[in-house]
């Protein structure tokens, strides 16, 4: 089984790295932005990102095409994300369109409010985890609480 691990660098990447024991012996690859936090990653694709309202909208469009290229090449069966909506949303949607299962783990920093990425990915997620019980009420029946997984 091939797994795509997609997240932005920083806290989202730190949370993903805490899950790495679960991926030992599995065929996985990362998709993230190049930063001091991600430069050490092996088996990774690095994509650009520029902040600012207009740039973010253009970046989302570019990221959709980048996701299509990478996911068609790699053909993962599962896309897992810990967030960073600017990268997670395009990859999860393109992955879903290509037949992959989508798993999203809401960041541990979200206790009572939903993230933008979480709100957008929730409808297509095959597995949607929150790390705080109060957040279950904000999402709905599909959300699951398995404790603090990260």
Residue-range domain boundaries for the chain: 2-145
* CATH, domain 2-145, list 2.40.10.10, 3.40.50.2000, 3.40.50.720, 2.40.50.180: 3.40.50.2000
What is the reported pTM? Answer: 0.89
Q: List the structure tokens of 24.
A: 């030992």
Per-residue pLDDT of the chain (150 residues; tens, 9 = 90+): 999 999 988 888 888 888 989 999 999 999 988 777 777 788 889 887 655 444 555 577 888 999 999 999 999 999 999 988 889 999 999 999 999 999 999 876 676 778 888 889 999 999 999 888 878 788 888 988 887 766
């Amino acid at each position: 089984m091939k797994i795509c691990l997609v997240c932005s660098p920083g806290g989202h990447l730190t949370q993903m790295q805490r899950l790495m024991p679960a991926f030992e012996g599995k065929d996985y690859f990362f998709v993230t932005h190049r930063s001091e936090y991600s430069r050490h990653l092996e088996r990774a694709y690095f994509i650009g990102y520029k902040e600012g309202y207009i740039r973010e909208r253009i970046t989302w469009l570019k990221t959709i095409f980048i996701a299509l290229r990478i996911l068609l090449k790699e053909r993962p069966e599962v896309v897992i994300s810990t967030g960073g909506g600017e990268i997670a949303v395009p990859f999860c949607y393109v992955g879903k369109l290509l037949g992959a299962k989508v798993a999203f783990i809401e960041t541990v920093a979200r206790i009572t409010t939903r993230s933008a990425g979480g709100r957008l990915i929730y409808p297509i997620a095959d597995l949607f985890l929150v790390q705080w019980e109060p957040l279950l009420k904000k999402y709905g029946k599909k959300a699951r609480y398995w404790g603090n997984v990260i």
